[in-house]
């Protein structure tokens, strides 16, 4: 069974040889710090850790096009002020920076929306597709790995572009503009994806990026979510479904409990990364509550990976029945931070390969540095439109 067949079987509750062995990725600083603990400098993490092919997404740009130029505006020692590709001015650390602090936003009101953003959201223009797209189509038709397509973001990008406070106020001060922005982004995604889907490539899944929840719930009320976002998600998922893409993944951090059933209603049927957090997100609880119609990816607490290795082994065993049931691929619930020792991560992988991977000979070997794969630097960049 190859990686594509295995992914399809797991997500459709079909017989399979084992679970995919995947991750969410790592903080850049994690791999640097791990070099002192035995991780080879310059190694491809997918090869070194023996991962199955994962998060390979067709390079179709549904984001701002063209992007804003990235500019370093000010150096402040171990920090810098930049204007990024989304037109956001922010203060960020150069190492172990975590979440940057937004200082200013190009998107402020209808005037800046019409001038700077709406023209960048024309879907289907040639710049949104790679120059070698016809060759990629032929390559993708003969693949043996799961392939995804970027389905955009209806709230997360707006929050980035405008800032959380300004967007929250806009919902009440100019609801018409908020609704227009959501619909415009959805239309850009639809117009860009339609010719891609009609090109004959059968995608295994589509990816949305939202990050619209935090530790006590959603940043937008479920009522407004249902009124504005659900119909526009449905426009996208209907298009995908018409072309055989029936696994639609949403990446949203925080406590998604109140939004998960609404995403399911909108045709978004796979929750990721199921952050554990202080609120205790748990893939087993989601399956019990929503049944097999809701697929799941993630749910392995990164805090567990930083703790005793005995606890790591217990967590792997705890999730084993859900893995066997199907519709679930376990991964760490966010990028692995540098407070997780390399020895602990290797312990986690050994247990995962033994329990979820059944120690089968078709598991990829661990410990081989390898050369970086073509998609390694772009992996998990779908939310940036890269």
- Same-domain pairing of 181 and 213: yes
Report the alpha-carbon distance of residue 194 to residue 8 in Å, rounded.
22
What does the mean pLDDT of the chain come to?
94
Tens-digit pLDDT profile for residues 133-179: 999 999 999 999 999 999 999 999 999 999 999 999 999 999 999 99
> What residues have CB less than 8 Å from 245, skipping those under 6 apart?
149, 197, 202, 203, 204, 205, 206
Count of the separate structural domains present in the chain: 2
Find out whether 265 and 225 touch, Cβ atoms under 8 Å: no
What is the pTM for the complete model shown?
0.94
- How far apart CA 221 and CA 228 sit, in angstroms, is 11
Domain identity same for 41 and 142: yes
pLDDT of 277 strictly over 50? yes
The per-residue pLDDT for 94 is: 81
| pLDDT number for residue 129 | 97
Are residues 132 and 274 both part of a single domain? yes
Q: Residue 369: what pLDDT?
A: 80
Region of residue 208 (left: phi > 0; alpha: psi -120 to 50; beta: else): beta
Same domain, 74 and 110: no
C-alpha distances out from residue 30 to 92, 113, 248, 255, Å: 17, 37, 29, 25
Q: Identify the CATH number of the domain in which residue 330 sits.
A: 3.20.20.210
Q: How many CA atoms lie within 13 A of 277 on its CB side?
A: 19
Spatial contact of 219 and 212, defined as CB atoms under 8 Å apart:
yes
Q: Kindly state the tokens that stand for 376.
A: 């390694």
Q: Are residues 99 and 220 in the same domain?
A: no
Given a contact cutoff of 8 angstroms between Cβ atoms, the answer to whether 220 and 230 are in contact is no
Start-to-end CA distance of the chain, whole Å, equals 30
Query: Do residues 59 and 378 touch, judged by C-beta distance below 8 A?
Result: yes
Which tens digit of pLDDT belongs to each residue from 59-95? 999 999 999 999 999 998 889 999 999 999 999 988 7
Domain interval for residue 378: 3-68+106-384
pLDDT per residue over 172-223, tens digit each?
999 999 999 999 999 999 999 999 999 989 999 999 999 999 999 999 999 9
């Amino acid at each position: 069974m190859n990686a594509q067949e295995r992914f399809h079987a797991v997500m459709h509750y079909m017989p399979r040889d084992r679970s995919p062995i995947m991750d969410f990725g790592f903080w850049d600083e994690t791999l640097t710090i791990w070099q002192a603990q035995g991780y080879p400098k310059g190694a491809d993490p997918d090869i070194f850790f023996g991962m199955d092919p994962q998060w390979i997404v067709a390079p179709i740009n549904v984001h701002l096009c063209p992007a804003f130029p990235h500019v370093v505006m000010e150096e402040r020692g171990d920090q810098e002020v930049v204007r990024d590709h989304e037109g956001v001015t922010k203060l960020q650390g150069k190492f172990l920076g975590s979440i940057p602090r937004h200082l200013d936003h190009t998107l402020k009101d209808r005037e800046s929306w019409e001038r700077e953003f709406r023209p960048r959201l024309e879907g289907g223009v040639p710049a949104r597709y790679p120059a070698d797209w016809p060759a990629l189509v032929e390559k993708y038709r003969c693949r043996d790995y799961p392939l995804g397509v970027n389905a955009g973001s209806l709230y997360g990008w707006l929050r980035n572009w405008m800032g959380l406070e300004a967007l929250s106020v806009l919902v009440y001060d100019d609801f018409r503009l908020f609704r227009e922005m959501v619909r415009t982004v959805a239309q850009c995604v639809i117009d860009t994806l339609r010719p891609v889907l009609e090109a004959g490539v059968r995608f295994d899944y589509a990816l949305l990026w939202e990050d619209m929840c935090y530790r006590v719930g959603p940043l937008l009320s479920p009522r407004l979510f249902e009124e504005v976002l659900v119909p526009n998600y449905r426009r996208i998922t209907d298009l995908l479904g018409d072309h055989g893409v029936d696994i639609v993944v949403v990446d949203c951090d925080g406590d998604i409990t109140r939004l998960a059933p609404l995403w399911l209603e909108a045709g978004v049927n796979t929750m990721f990364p199921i952050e554990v957090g202080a609120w205790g997100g748990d893939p087993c609880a989601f399956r019990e509550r929503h049944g097999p119609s809701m697929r799941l990816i993630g749910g392995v607490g990164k805090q567990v990976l930083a703790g005793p290795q005995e606890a790591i082994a217990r967590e792997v065993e705890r999730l084993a029945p859900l893995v066997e049931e199907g519709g679930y691929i376990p991964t760490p619930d966010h990028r692995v931070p540098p407070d997780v020792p390399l020895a602990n991560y290797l312990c986690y992988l050994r247990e995962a390969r033994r329990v979820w991977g059944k120690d089968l000979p078709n598991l990829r070997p661990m410990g081989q540095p390898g050369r970086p794969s073509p998609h390694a630097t772009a992996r998990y960049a779908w939310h940036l439109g890269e």
